[in-house]
Each structure stands twice: as C-alpha cells, then as structure tokens.
Amino acid sequence: MATTADELAARYPVMAYNFVVVIGGAQLSFSEVTGLVREYERVTYRHGLSFREGESITTYYLDKYAPVTLKRGVTRGVTSLRAWLASQEERAVTITLRDGAGAPVLTWRVAKAVPVKLEAPTFRADGTEVAIESLELMAAGVTVTEHG
C-alpha cells in the first residue's frame, strides 16, 4: 500500500486532459484526440495440398490502423491544417500525455499521417457552443513510448 505522497503520485492514474500534439515539428492545440488504435489482424493461410497432406495452417498478423481524429476550436489566422489537407503530404504526428507537473508519461507516435477529411463545425443560430472543426488522418506506423 502506498504510504508517501510520491508513491501515491506514481500509482494515481494520469488525467487525460493534459496532452500535447506535434505535427511535422509544430506544436498545435487540440481539444480532443481519438482513434489512436493499433491492433493486429489475423490472416489464416491453407496451402494448396492441404487436402492431401493434412491441415497445415500458417497464421500471419498484419498491422491494422484506425483513422485518428483531431478536434480543435476554429481560430482566426490558423490555416496550417487546411493547407496540409490540400497538400496531401505525409507528416509525423506525436501525442504526448503529461502528468500534473507537465512531465511526459506516454507518447504515441504516428510515423506517417495523411489528412483525409476536414469537417466543418456545426452551425446553429440558437446555439452558444464553440465552433469545433475536426481533422481525420489515416495513420501508419503507430508506436507507443513510456517515459520513466
């Protein structure tokens, strides 16, 4: 059982609101990041003579990635996301989760990310919500690094 403040801090779950997003070397502000998933798809192969030599099955695991969605409030003068969508170039993206003191805890790195969709905010005449735009990326090469 944790008895000191340091032990409690080390075992306490990290809050999800303290994160930093870096795209192509530039730090950008986002209110939400979703879709950081890395899973393996199982592929089964039966060779052509299995009817004669028995069931010989080889299993391969393929990386399968989900689209990553970044959401942010619309601000004046920030056109880098729309320019990136128009260029269709691959960029590295890192999302770093930080603890209460600002020290990095976990970093998700997307080696190759390409924007595929930019969704405009929902416009409502009777609403008072912040205008939030959403950028969807196709991601490849997702890795996770734990910081000591």
pLDDT band at 51 (very low <50, low <70, confident <90, very high): low
- The domain in which residue 124 lies consists of 14-38+65-146
- Indicate whether 9 belongs to any domain: no
- Looking at residue 123, what is its pLDDT? 92
**pTM for the whole structure:** 0.80
Weakest-pLDDT range from 64-68, 101-105, 137-141: 64-68
Domain CATH for 113: 2.30.110.20
Q: How many domains does the chain have?
A: 1
- Indicate whether 44 belongs to any domain: no
pLDDT band at 117 (very low <50, low <70, confident <90, very high): very high
Mapped to the 3 state alphabet, what secondary structure does 32-71 carry? EEECCCEEEEEEEEECCCHHHHCCCEEEEEEEEECCEEEE
- Indicate whether 116 belongs to any domain: yes
Weakest-pLDDT range from 68-77, 80-89, 116-125: 80-89
Q: What is the mean pLDDT of residues 117-140?
A: 92
